[in-house]
A and B are shown apart, each in its own frame.
Chain A
Amino acid sequence: MTDALVRVKSLSKQYMMPDGEIVPVLSDVTLFIEPGQHIVLIGPSGSGKSTLLHIMAGLVSPSKGSVDWPALGPSDGLMPTRLQVVFQMASLFPPLNVLENVALPMVLAGHQAQAEVRALAMLQRLGLVDLAPKLPEELSGGQAQRVAVARALAITPALILADEPTGQLDSTTAGAFLDEVIAVAGESDTALVIATHDATIAARMQTVWTVSRGNLQFQPEMMGGLT
């Protein structure tokens, strides 16, 4: 078995509210993500999907348990080259246009020479090339989300964690877009984890994990793999 991209063991997460109340979000979650896997994280709003993604991205520390990235290295070296996150809300850098935004992770990674060419190619591939000169504030919510996905894909990371990437798209557009994203990810052997509550998206992915009240439910073969 190859090294897992993400390894989460017995993880729990709880938040303390301003009034001192402790709110549990995730409890006793254990999982592995293998290279090239396409996983959908499905569950109702407030079930803990986003928190799990943020923990897997290294943005949030668990309250209990552990998370590490055996195939990707230490947490401070994950981004931008090995792991990319697509956030639920608009996450484009406002003072750069779409092309510059898509090229930005590559620039930050020191790949200036190919950054713009690859960014433009990715926009073309995803049918977003017309948006290239626009500023983020000139985009609709759906356009901004698609550009954010393009930005994550362009640098060909090993893992993309996407939080409701098609939440602001109609189901037809969302389906077509996702098909293309899955295809692109497949070409570069990029693992995809998409958090959503949209069943039509879930149907397009290889693996479906369900998050409910902070608990993660796996498919039987996955469970077996973990033991």
Chain B
Amino acid sequence: MMYQWISGLVRHRFARLAGTALGVGLTVALLATLGFFLVGSSATMTARAVSGVPIDWQVEAVPGADPATVQDAITKAAAVAALDPVFFGKTDGFQASTGGTVQTTGPGKVIAFGPDYPGHFPKEVRLLSGKLDGALVAQQTAANLRVAPGDMVTINRLGLGPVQVSITGVVDLPDADSLFQAVGLPPQAAPQAPPDNVLILPLAEWHRIFDPQQTMRPDSTRQQFHVRLDHSSLAVQPGDAFTQVTRAARNLEARVAGQALVADNLGARLDAVRGDAIYASLLFLFLGLPGAALGAGLTVAVSASGADRRRAEQALLRIRGASSHRILLLSGAEAMTVGLVGCSIGLVGAAGFAAVALPLAGSIAQALLVALMAACAGLLLAAASVILPAWDALRARNVSSTRRTVGRATKPLWQRLWLDVVLLALAGLLFWQTASTGYQIVLAPEGVPATSTDTKAFLAPALFWIGATLFVIRIVSGLILANGSVLQLILRPLAHRLAPVIGASLSHQSRRIALGIVMTALAVAFGLSTALFNTTYKAQAQVDAQLTNGADVTAFGTATNPAGPWLAKLAALPKVAAAEPMIHRFAYVGADLQDIYGIDPARIGQVATLSDAFFPGGSAAEVLARLAATPDGVLVSEETVTDFQLAQGDMINLRLMDARDHQNHAIPFHFIGIAREFPTAPKDSFLVANSAYLARMTGNPVAEDILMRSAGEAALAADTVRKALATDPGVQVTDVGSVTHIIGSSLTAVNMTSLTRIELAFASVMAAASAGLMLALGFDDRKRGFAILAAIGAKPRQLGAFLWAEGTLVIMGGGIFGIALGSIIAWMMVKLLTGVFDPPPEGLAVPWIYVLTLLALVAGSTLGAVLTAGKKQREEAVSLMRDI
């Protein structure tokens, strides 16, 4: 009988079966795609994070420990890909005599490593000029001492006489924070600033110079082992990889207890990424789950559209002697058929999409687990859509209740309890709490930036989704039920004199109509919030990259090897739309050495994107105009304002090196504003001044960097710039695209393009289905009512007014409430993630084309439903009326 029943349903109720199966399929597809994306993106995050850590472990031998024992313990604790000893020695300072003057620095450090080290840890040392084999000087120290390859530098040892070394190269130390970190500090300790003056020596030379000092002052030297672990053996998920690396580090700590301290940079980074991955999971689920819930709701609605017919079938079955148990079994078979077909469609679709558009990372087992979970959800949905209504019909229906299709509107419990308002208030409170605290990028003791997150923050939008949905139901059903002036205002242009009676007819069906409107509003809200969030996210990732890179393309030079002289040549390149020089030097604010940038405030906007969020005291345009109007003006960081208790207009003296005598001199500036961020500037402290004033006061007009806006693709422009600078390897060229990939540590580095595509496509289908399909099914359910209208004399135009009234309410209500809900959800999400964006976005970026397409789909599907119902009505009216 089971087979006969199912085959009968397939033959005679194909539309109902297919509609429900497709709904299940769509829901399963979205869930599985989200799952595949999460697995893949987490693995990508791990890979990126791991590749971004310059030194996985820094193991520091305590004075007196046996280095060989420590080295042996390291190789036993973990699979090691590279292991190099690094020596650190303190000095009283450095001195150099060049150009007839003597330059002296404050205390510094001299480090030493073997010849393989730059190859093993390529992110630690970047050669700017000269060659690597010999004594190297850090670029800032080179600038302070005014030395170049070939010059001599004197090292003032502690307690011993000075020694001289010959410089062979000038280097940049991009990872100085981590390289010079204090190993073994407790996690809550403040990070140490790297030394201002650094010299790097070959191992033998370091030992020649510092072994005697070590004998006299053992505390003045230390030895570390820098370790790169074998990444191929790491787990793919950040959490698993974190556990694996941390356990190995603990194991090492136990092996070298009392002999060495371990800085687990990789573990700290993975810990942060682990948090990011959880955060990302929540975020993506948050963006996707409302869609899945909507898909489930729509499936139930499609299935419920045949409720009357189902009741009739059940009545027939009972008349023929089928027990309730047998009827439920038949419904179960139908649910299983629908569920299996839907799950198959959904999983095949999701797998196909994943193969084409998602990052292929993560394990097969995890992908299978995701597929299994999505399939289970699909089967549950099928059961809820088919078995529950059947059970409900069996349980409570009597003859008179089965005839009821309209029903008296009664206030459900949640409305009487004002649950919607309570949930909205709770959401508002939680949101205010979270948004007012925000998220801060913190510096881990190991010197690795990590994102601090609070998963509770997602409660606010979750409660808002539920509360707002219920609230919209309350408002919409209330407005329709009241059939007051608002509803009449909407209906009158369409229905003219029929408006009151159409209003009355809608009023008696307020629940049904409100459900259609709310489903449409939710679909629009889902599509809009996803689109708004994704566009803002993408735009902000771009701003983040632009901020780091400074502009589309940037040529970074140094004090000894500036990019400025190339300005005319670069500006003339066809792929460069605009080029602007920027001075980048260092200035002492008291004893604190800070980056200072010299710009032309009137022209910097031509090449760099300056957000209002950079400047807390006004808009970017206002602050730059203030700087342009104050030749000796300077913008300082918030930290400096606090540290030095500065007030606007204060005069501050900054010590800068003068090119004429190579000595630092105090130069007066006027503090005119605060800069939180600035293109290429570090995240902590920096200064921005007028380049003309800086050049005049330091006697050096040459700009170290050149910022460029590209004409077309930034990567192509960067290639032409690199070719133009091929003869000057000291100038480094980067483009915004390559920086986006390098940023890699935070959420904004996760490429959401593929997820966005599926979510937006799904939202479009859902919006069209919620509006058009729900409306069409509703019209079909009530075609007998429309036939009655025709039978008592309603003209086609008047029948059309009944159909258009509902259609208009769906478009208007769905559109207005959908846009409002979607915008608020997206705004909340962006606001909650403010700390992740750097800088925070000034507002939502609106994807107009998608929004208009979405609304057009809603309008189009509604139009289609109304026109089809009208046409069908005319064609079938006679036969329906004969059945009355």
Give residues in A with beta carbon < 8 Å to B.
Answer: 54, 59-60, 78-81, 84-85, 87-97, 100, 103-105, 107-110, 112, 135, 137, 151
Contact = CB atoms under 8 A, between A and B. Distances in A.
Interface string B499-539: 01100111011000000000000000000000000000000
B508 A97 contact: yes
Given A80-B792, A105-B793, A59 B501 contact: no
Interface string B756-773: 000000000000000000
B51 interface: no
A28 B798 CA distance: 36
A103 B405 CA distance: 22
A149 to B, nearest CB: 12
Contacts of B405: 94, 137
Contacts of B506: 95
B878 interface: yes
Interface string B370-408: 000000000000000000000000000000000111111
A2 to B, nearest CB: 24
B498 interface: yes
Nearest to A90: B884
Residues of B in contact with A, size category: 20 to 34
Contact of B498 (A60, A107, A135, A137): A107
B782 A94 contact: yes
A135 B408 contact: yes
B128 to A, nearest CB: 81
A24 B853 CA distance: 55
A84 B506 CA distance: 25
18 contacts: A54-B881, A79-B792, A80-B793, A81-B793, A84-B793, A85-B791, A87-B881, A93-B788, A94-B405, A94-B785, A95-B406, A95-B504, A107-B498, A108-B792, A108-B794, A110-B497, A135-B408, A137-B405
Contacts of A94: 405-406, 782, 785
A54 to B, nearest CB: 6
A81 B798 CA distance: 15
A110 B501 CA distance: 12
A88 B884 CA distance: 7
* A interface SS class: loop
Contact of B505 (A59, A85, A91, A95): A95
Contacts of A112: 497, 500
B789 interface: yes
A104 B878 contact: no
Given A89-B883, A93-B792, A95-B406, 9 more contacts: A59-B878, A80-B793, A80-B794, A85-B791, A87-B791, A95-B506, A103-B501, A109-B793, A137-B407
B405 to A, nearest CB: 6
B497 A54 contact: no
B208 interface: no
B505 A93 contact: yes
Nearest to B881: A59
A135 B793 contact: no
Most buried by A among B403, B498, B791, B794: B791
Interface in B787-807: 788-789, 791-795, 798
Contacts of B878: 59-60
B882 A137 contact: no
Contacts of A91: 788, 791-792, 884
B403 A137 contact: yes
Contacts of B403: 137
A165 B878 CA distance: 20
Contacts of B789: 93, 104, 108
Nearest to A82: B793
A103 B504 CA distance: 12
A59 B500 CA distance: 28
B882 A108 contact: no
Contact of A135 (B406, B792, B795, B882): B406
Contacts of B793: 78-81, 84, 105, 108-109
A151 B884 CA distance: 16
A107 B497 CA distance: 8
Contacts of B404: 137
Contact of B508 (A85, A92, A96): A96
Contact of B509 (A60, A79, A95, A108): A95
A113 to B, nearest CB: 10
A104 B792 contact: yes
Nearest to A113: B497
B759 to A, nearest CB: 37
Contacts of A110: 497
B504 A100 contact: yes
B788 to A, nearest CB: 5
